[in-house]
Amino acid sequence: MRELVKQVLKKVCLDGVARELRRTSRRIWWHWKRRFGRLDDEIMKRYLSTHEIRKLHIGCDDHILNGWLNADLFPRSAMVLHLDATEPFPFGNEEFNYIFSEHMLEHISYSQGLQMLSECYRILKKDGKIRISTPDLAFLIDLYKAEKSDLQKEYIKWATVRPIAFVSCNDVAFVINNFVRAWGHKFIYDEKTLYASLKKSGFTRVTRCELNESEEEALQNLENEKRMPEGFLKLETMTLEGTKLLAS
């Protein structure tokens, strides 16, 4: 028995070492492809030197917006800037006119979110605007109500069959538990909390907008509705915009 335990522990240890080696090799390969930061320096300098109206897209994934400096944590494209939104941004003060982020803020902690929004405020020009789209906690709570719309019923069915294969019924409890724990989600905001975070970071004129709608032309038609079945992104999402006002 003792020998068996030793063999099991040895295998577990070796498997752990192998996994860490694979992760480390992938990180080294990724940094090598990015030329250890030189590619990102070139992307950033080229964009800032060629755009008078500057727009930063944080957490773009594969949703590349024309005319924007698209940024992500681990870009899969050589046209996208590597940006860790939990760290100080590699930009000077007041360099951007607009900032947009869609379904990214929920992937970092609340304190990291405050830091990110403060950095956004710092790099925005006076009268610059930010647009944040993120899952709404109220949408999850509404799913638990007895009366549900047809869209909510379809969403619950999609959200249980698709990612939770072992669930035998379309139970909203599984949807809610999975939503707050899966996909790297760390903090789900409600409107009051996101509003307070934007205000705490310095933004004023904080308003809620419909998906893909804005009074500001540059902030219209940005959210990627095609990544989900029709109506689902709108069901999940709240969008708030804020302004860095001109000094009085």
Q: What is the extent of the structural domain holding 229?
A: 35-136+189-243
CB atoms within 10 A of CB 162: 10
Within this chain, do residues 111 and 207 fall inside the same structural domain, yes or no? yes
Within this chain, do residues 68 and 13 fall inside the same structural domain, yes or no? no
Q: Please state the pTM of the whole predicted model.
A: 0.87
| Angular region, 62: left φ>0, alpha ψ -120 to 50, beta rest | alpha
Q: State which amino acid sits at residue 81.
A: L
Domain membership of residue 143 (yes or no) is: no
Within this chain, do residues 92 and 207 fall inside the same structural domain, yes or no? yes
Within this chain, do residues 125 and 2 fall inside the same structural domain, yes or no? no
Within this chain, do residues 11 and 69 fall inside the same structural domain, yes or no? no
Within this chain, do residues 107 and 222 fall inside the same structural domain, yes or no? yes
* pLDDT for res 241: 98
Within this chain, do residues 12 and 60 fall inside the same structural domain, yes or no? no
Closest CA to 176 of 136, 134, 150, 143: 143
Write out the chain's pLDDT in tens, 248 residues: 566 545 645 555 656 666 666 767 666 776 777 876 789 999 999 999 999 999 999 999 999 999 999 999 999 899 999 999 999 999 999 999 999 999 999 999 999 999 999 999 999 999 999 999 999 999 999 999 999 999 999 999 888 876 555 565 668 888 898 899 888 999 999 999 999 999 999 999 999 999 999 999 999 999 999 999 999 999 999 999 999 987 54
Reduced to 3 states (helix: H, G, I; strand: E, B; else coil), residue 98 is: strand
Indicate the number of domains in the chain: 2
Query: Domain holding 129: CATH number?
Result: 3.40.50.150
Within this chain, do residues 116 and 237 fall inside the same structural domain, yes or no? yes
Within this chain, do residues 14 and 114 fall inside the same structural domain, yes or no? no
How far apart are alpha carbons 186 and 60 in whole angstroms? 18
Tokens of 179: 């939503």
How far apart are alpha carbons 158 and 179 in whole angstroms? 12
Domain membership of residue 220 (yes or no) is: yes
Domain membership of residue 65 (yes or no) is: yes
How far apart are alpha carbons 77 and 34 in whole angstroms? 10
Within this chain, do residues 42 and 20 fall inside the same structural domain, yes or no? no
Cβ neighbours of residue 104 under 8 Å, at least 6 residues apart? 58, 59, 85, 134
Exposed/middle/buried for 94, CB within 10 Å: 0-12, 13-18, 19+?
middle
Within this chain, do residues 27 and 102 fall inside the same structural domain, yes or no? no
Cβ neighbours of residue 139 under 8 Å, at least 6 residues apart? 235, 236, 237, 238
